[in-house]
A and B are shown apart, each in its own frame.
Chain A
Amino acid sequence: MAAHTEPSLTAGPGRRTILKTMGVGVAGLAGVPLLAACTGGAGPSGGGTESSGLTFGSGSSDEVPKKAYQAVTDAFTKKTGKTVSTNVVPHNDFQNKINSYLQGSPDDTFTWFAGYRMQFYAGKGLLAPVDDVWEKIGGNFSDALKTASTGPDGKMYFVPNYNYPWGFFYRKSLWAEKGYEVPENFDALKTLAAKMKADGIIPIGFADKDGWPAMGTFDYINMRLNGYQFHVDLCSHKESWDQPKVTEVFTTWSALLPFQDPAALGQTWQDAARALAAKKTGMYLLGSFVTQQFTDPAVLKDIDFFPFPEIATEGRDAVEAPIDGLLLSKKGGENAAARQFMEFIGTPEAQDAYAAVDPSNIATAKGTDTSTFSELNKKCADTIANAKFISQFFDRDALPAMANNVMIPALQTFLKDGKMDVKNLEAQAKTLYAAQ
């Protein structure tokens, strides 16, 4: 029997110190509402109407793109005298919280993606249309880009900044040393992978901790087997998942599984990029933004890529080349400075400012400076320009709930045990698409 008879109390600390604190504390209670109330104002720009500046939410948190957007906002401020206050949120968190971000207090403008993933939020009424901006910058963009920036109601919402092709990246020196050759078709890819494995290299770098990178492989095999239109229809659930065409995608993929990095589920794409740079892996399928990670210029110079090999009659017409750019939030729609910034990002001037810092992507506006392009840049730009069909990416073409809640766990399971229950995919798709 001790002084402390109430068990929960025993977890508390010494008495005298806290006693004093408490005395002050209780007296201070009256001040609580005041303290609590001064919340909103402390943050970036209050109302939506002020035009002396704007807020800009950025999911480009990696070092290189972060600095690149900094260069853009600096250029904007220099040109217009209007301040941009940038809120950088780590890439994956930014995407994951987009729903509550847009419903809460979004910044005036923010980085996002073209395609259904933009239209979805436009359709929910969370974005402000920018048709007036497009009247001024429309001439800078191709029709394809214009279509990709249009919302479900026919209004313009998106202003593209850059895009980037997805392909297999590799180190030229390693390939030259070992005598590897770029595979033109899927069988050649398998043969090459087997050879690499025999050489003690992990043939195909892979990272899927974050869930989305594996969708790239799915998209490519799907498009090579079934064509671009099937990809689009599957993403919008006009095609059923429970059909041989989809099963075929996974059967084909399973031939690559033994060659993929077995540590995929525990690493991020940045980890996998480093493994490629260290010549631990032979090739790595990702967007050209992967080169942001190669800070050593010698490594960067040594990087090349090849498009996903041909599998069936569909050839290699389709390229996965997602477009990144800016959107205007509903609240930001009332801020003239924010519209001005949207307009700015649609000019060659702004895109050049971006590309000067982050050359891993390809500017989308006509008239941007291509004189500084590296070999790799040129190849990227050509790949996109010569493509017959450009897909965005599974998570940008499909319903967000399908991509995030269904495909991510399903693909992670597939990577683990090579099994895919397409019936289940279809059952989930039915429920989720109906819920919207």
Chain B
Amino acid sequence: MSTTATRAGLPTAEQHRSGSRPKRHYGTHIFLTAMAVMWLIPLGWALLTALRPIASTNEHGYFSVAGDFNFDNFVQAWTQGGIAKYFWNSVIISVPAVLLVLFLSSMMAFAVSRVSWKFNVTLLIMFTAGNLLPPQVLAAPLFEMAKHFEVPYAFSDSGNMLNTYIVVIAVNTAFQMGFCTFVLSNYMKALSQDLTEAALVDGAGIWRQYREIIMPLCRPAFAALGTLEVIFIYNDYFWPLIFIQSGDRLPVTTAINNLQGEFLNDYNLLAAGAVITVIPTLIVYLLLQRQFVAGLTLGSSKG
């Protein structure tokens, strides 16, 4: 928070921005409005289709607003599609994965950015590169590794790591760690060396420097990365596709493709299914967006 306070202390931005020229950006508005309408059309169309019962669309066609509007499709998609379960699966996968990613990468980032030793740049390069690889490159060996990692049936009904949430969490964690390590290490590098120097003088060990000095300072970074990773992992379609075989264990992102097969020919139902899966992201988005935009603008205008 101190950062924003500092920004407010700088006088130039505020005065320059608000004061001088009250321009009327007509052209800009026309362009932006046109773009915004185009941007909203696909979602709006899905919503319109979802709100109309198939009887209405059959009678009046899809290109009309005649007939009934109700939430029947949503109810049917929800019950028939078993969407509640898919949502819960998404939670089971993304919450632990995001926490693990942040925890592990903060340690790694600390080690490579705050302590100087021989291989820190090499390791950082390795982590960053790993994150940039297309996941398809790793798919087959990871599938085989999971298959040959045998565990008791009591633990997993496949007798190995296939069809478990753990393997999806683990792979997501490993895969996202590179990105977070990179971002966090840059962030930590930018923190003054004096901070930890002082602690060293007090006799604080590495763990205390990490836990009590650096971690609290990284909160803004964690906040941003945390949200980003929640979205990344929630939206991950690929790893569950590879590892999870039971339809009822799929997270919602991967499961919506099944809805396509299930609601075949009933576009109203499919649209309802799609809109339902949009809703949680939309809620997260609307809730955090205020903070989000505030966070962005705080620095330059309000303070």
Q: Do A and B bind each other?
A: yes
Residues of A within 8 A of B (CB): 2-6, 8-19, 21-22, 25-26, 28-29, 32, 35-37, 39-48, 61-62, 87-93, 97, 100-101, 103-106, 268, 270-271, 274, 331
Q: In the complex, are the beta carbons of A88 and B247 less than 8 A apart?
A: yes
Cβ < 8 Å to A, chain B residues 250-284: 257-258, 260-262, 264-265
Q: Are A3 and B298 interface neighbours, CB within 8 A?
A: yes
Q: How many angstroms between the C-alpha atoms of A47 and B92 in the bound complex?
A: 23
Stretch at the interface among B1-9, B35-43, B64-72, B202-210: B1-9
| Chain A to chain B contacts (Cβ below 8 Å), 8 pairs | A4-B296, A18-B288, A22-B226, A25-B102, A32-B100, A39-B166, A44-B157, A47-B153
A17 to B224, CA, bound (A): 10
B225 x A9 contact (CB < 8 A): yes
The B interface is mostly helix, strand or loop, or mixed, namely helix
In contact, B249 and A43 (Cβ under 8 angstroms): yes
Across the interface, which residues of A come within 8 angstroms of B264, CB to CB? 62, 90, 268, 270
Residues in B whose Cβ lies below 8 Å from that of A36: 92, 96, 165-166, 169
Q: Which of B96-146 contact A (CB under 8 A)?
A: 96, 98-100, 102-103, 143
**Interface range for B:** 35 or more
Binding site for A on B (CB under 8 A): 1, 3-4, 6-7, 92, 95-96, 98-100, 102-103, 143, 147, 153-159, 162-166, 169, 179, 183, 186-187, 190, 219-228, 242-243, 245-249, 257-258, 260-262, 264-265, 287-292, 294-296, 298-300
Contact of B219 among A19, A93, A270 (CB under 8 A): A19
Residue of B nearest to A273 (CB): B265
Q: Please indicate the chain B residues that have their CB under 8 angstroms from the CB of A18 in the complex.
A: 222-224, 226-227, 288, 291
Q: Contact: B248 with A87, CB < 8 Å?
A: yes
User: Is the pair A93, B158 in contact by a Cβ cutoff of 8 Å?
Assistant: no
Q: Is the CB of A25 within 8 A of B153?
A: no
Q: Are B290 and A14 in contact (CB under 8 A)?
A: yes
Please give, as numbers and ranges, the residues of chain A lying within 8 Å of B243 by CB-CB distance: 104
On whether A10 and B296 interact (CB within 8 A), knowing A43-B246, A89-B247, the answer reads: yes
Write the nearest CB–CB distance from B228 to chain A, whole angstroms: 6
Complex CA–CA separation, A26 to B248 (angstroms): 29
- Closest B-chain residue to A17, C-beta based? B291
* Set B154, B165, B265: member contacting A270, Cβ < 8 A: B265
> Judging by beta carbons under 8 Å apart, are B258 and A89 in contact?
yes
Contact of A40 with B257 at beta-carbon distance under 8 Å, contacts A14-B223, A100-B162, A270-B265 already known: no
Contact of A104 among B153, B228, B245 (CB under 8 A): B245
B96 and A13 within 8 A (CB): no
Contact between A91 and B261, CB atoms less than 8 A apart: yes
Q: Is the CB of B162 within 8 A of A92?
A: no
Answer whether A87 and B246 are a contact pair too, CB < 8 Å, given A17-B288, A44-B157, A45-B157: yes
Bound CA span A2–B302, Å: 12
Given A14-B294, A93-B258, A29-B100 contact (CB < 8 Å): yes
User: Do residues B258 and A12 form an inter-chain contact, with CB atoms below 8 A?
Assistant: no
Contact (Cβ within 8 A) B158 A40: yes
Asked if residues A40 and B223 are in contact (CB atoms below 8 Å), the reply is no
- Complex CA gap A25/B158 in Å reads 30
Contact status A101-B169, CB under 8 Å: no
With A39-B165, A87-B248 as given contacts, are A13 and B154 in contact (CB-CB < 8 Å)? no
Cα A21 to Cα B219 with chains together (Å): 11
A36 to B1, CA, bound (A): 34
Contact B288 A14 (CB under 8 A): yes
Verify B183–A8 contact, CB threshold 8 A: yes
A261 to B156, CA, bound (A): 48
Q: Given A25-B99, A105-B156, A268-B264, decide whether A12 and B295 contact each other with a Cβ distance below 8 A.
A: yes
**CB-CB < 8 A to A47: which residues of B?**
153-154, 157
Q: Is the CB of A2 within 8 A of B157?
A: no
**A104 touching B162 by the CB < 8 A rule?**
yes
Residues of B within 8 A of A97 (CB): 245
A54 to chain B, nearest CB (A): 13
User: In the assembled complex, which residues on chain B have CB atoms less than 8 Å from the CB atom of A6?
Assistant: 183, 186-187, 190, 221
Q: Name A8's closest neighbour in chain B (CB-CB).
A: B183
Whole-angstrom CA separation of A35 from B165 in the bound complex? 10
B297 to A, closest residue via Cβ: A2
Distance from B230 Cβ to chain A, minimum over Cβ atoms (Å): 9
- Find out whether the CB atom of A3 lies under 8 angstroms from the CB atom of B4: yes
Kindly provide the distance from the CB of B23 to the nearest chain A CB, expressed in whole angstroms.
23
**Which of chain A's residues have a CB closer than 8 A to the CB of B295?**
4, 12-15
- Would A32 and B99 count as touching, CB distance under 8 A? yes
CB of A90 within 8 A of CB of B166, answer: no
* Min distance, Cβ A405 to any Cβ of chain B, angstroms: 15
CB-nearest residue of chain B relative to A46? B157
> What is the minimal beta-carbon distance from A106 to any residue of chain B, in angstroms?
7
A43 neighbours in B (Cβ, 8 Å): 157, 163, 246, 248-249
Query: Do A103 and B228 touch (CB < 8 A)?
Result: no
The reply to whether B225 and A12 form a contact with Cβ atoms under 8 Å apart is yes
Q: Is the CB of B6 within 8 A of A100?
A: no
Q: Are A100 and B221 in contact (CB under 8 A)?
A: no
User: Does B265 contact A105, Cβ atoms closer than 8 Å?
Assistant: no
Q: Which of B3, B223, B225, B258 contacts A90, CB < 8 Å?
A: B258
Across the interface, do B6 and A3 meet the contact criterion of CB distance under 8 Å? yes
Residues of the A chain whose Cβ atoms lie less than 8 Å from the Cβ of B166: 36-37, 39
Q: Which of A9, A35, A45, A87 contacts B92 (CB 8 A)?
A: A35
CB neighbours (8 Å) of B242 from chain A are: 100
Determine how close the nearest CB of chain B comes to the CB of A103; give it in whole angstroms: 6
* Bound form: Cα–Cα A235–B187 in Å: 61
Let me know if B292 and A40 touch, CB within 8 A: no
> How far apart are the CA atoms of A12 and B298 in the complex, in Å?
14
